Structure formats: C-alpha cells, structure tokens
Structure 1
Amino acid sequence: MDINFQYDAVKASDRLEILTAKRLQKLFDKYDFLIRAEVLFKKENTASPETGMICKIRLSLPGPLVFAESSHGTFEVSITETVNDLERQLRKRKDKMKHRA
C-alpha cells in the first residue's frame, strides 16, 4: 500500500496519517486492484464552523482515477466521509469489471 500525504495550510500530523492509513488499508485489502492513494489535508476559512477542514483522496487503479473530497468541522469526520464515498465508487467499479469479464 503506497500512500502519499500532502498538507495545505495545515501542520503535518502523524495522528491524521495513522487514522487515514487505517481506513485506506481496509479499501486496499478489499480491492486488490488499488495501486496508490494521494491524500491532501487542507484548511479553509469559512463562515460556518461545520466546514473548512477538507480531506481530498485520489486513488490510482487501472482505468480512470477515483476521487473524493469532503469538508467538515474536523478532519476525522472529513476522512470518514471521504473514504465512505470512495468505497461506494470502488464497489460500482468492481461491479462493472465483473460484468465485463
């Protein structure tokens, strides 16, 4: 499993990297065709306290890339929602791959 972490206006955090890696490891275990993950943590100034902590994840796999992002009040919630969105996309991709074979 190859995961590249990037930070934009956020201090690097081992805790966030460990949490994200645990969530992504489940996807890598379930979907063996995954190659790499690019994770970006970004902080934006927003009017709402429920947004602004952004997590963007791009997965490399055969065919088009899979991408998801979410913005919440904490990075933990953003990570969870982003990984859940990726899981939905990967499930659809796997179903398409099965039907073509």
Structure 2
Amino acid sequence: MNIIIKSVDFKAGKNLEAFIKEKVKKLFDQCDNIIRANVILRKGASKKHENRLCEIRLVVPGYDHYVKKSSIGYRRAVSQSVDVLQEILRRNKSRSLAERVASA
C-alpha cells in the first residue's frame, strides 16, 4: 500500500494525513491490483466557499483512475473522491466478472 499525499501551498496536518490514509486504505482493500494512490490537496482559484480541491489518482496496471472533487473542506472533498473511486472499482469488478462468465 503506497499512498503519496501532496499539499500545494499549505502544510497538511497529521490528523488530515491520517484521515486520508484511513479513507484511501479502503480502496486498497477493495482492489488488489492498485499499485499506488497519489493524493493532491490544493485551494481552488475561485473565491467561492467550495474551493478546497482533492485530486486522487489510482495507479492500476493498464490504466489509471482519476477523480477531482471540490468541497467546503478537505475532509469532505477526500470522502467524496473516495466514494466515486469505490463506485468505479465496484463497476470494473462486476464488468470483469461478467466478461469471465461470458467467456466460460
């Protein structure tokens, strides 16, 4: 399990990093062939309240999964990103199972 966390223009605290690792670990538990997760946190350019951005790239053999979400806080943006990635992994797993059944 390799999780790389980068925060742009600010220093992420230990609590935030622990929260991110806890959430992203669920993705590694769900899919065995994830090599690495790159998490980038940054402030958005707009002056709206929803300007906390979270980008997560899962490096998987063959192709990568990439999600970018913005929200009021970093924790909420991370949670939303992980939820979307869990759905993507679930969909890919069911698709691969359907292909195995069809080819058998």
**Whole-Å Cα distance in 2 between the matches of residues 33 and 98 of structure 1?**
15
TM (normalized to structure 1)?
0.90
2:14 is equivalent to residue 14 of structure 1? yes
Give the distance between the partners of 2:45 and 2:97, measured in 1 at CA. Answer: 43
Q: Distance in 2 between matches of 1:89 and 1:31?
A: 11
1:15, distance to aligned residue in structure 2 (A): 1.5
Query: What count of residue pairs does the alignment treat as equivalent?
Result: 100
Q: Counterpart of 2:39?
A: 39
Give the greater-gyration-radius structure (CA): 2
- The 1:96–1:63 alpha-carbon spacing in structure 2 relative to 1, beyond 3 Å, is farther
- Are 1:48 and 2:45 counterparts? no
| Alignment-mate amino acid for residue 62 of structure 2 | G
Deviation of 1:45 (Å): 3.9
Q: Which residue of 1 aligns with 2:79?
A: 80
**Unaligned 5+ runs, structure 1:** none
What SS does the corresponding residue of 1:69 show, helix, strand or coil?
A: strand
SS at match of 2:32: coil
> How far has the Cα of 1:67 moved from its partner?
0.8
Deviations 1:34-88 (A, max 9, x none): 1110000001242321x11101000011221001111111001101100001011
Cα distance in structure 1, aligned partners of 2:59 and 2:70: 22
> What TM-score do you get using the length of structure 2 for normalisation?
0.88
How many angstroms apart in 1 are the aligned matches of 2:72 and 2:46?
Answer: 10
Give 3-state SS (helix, strand or coil) of 1:65's partner: strand
Q: Please give the secondary structure, in 2, of the residue aligned with 1:90.
A: helix
Unaligned runs of 5+ in 2: none
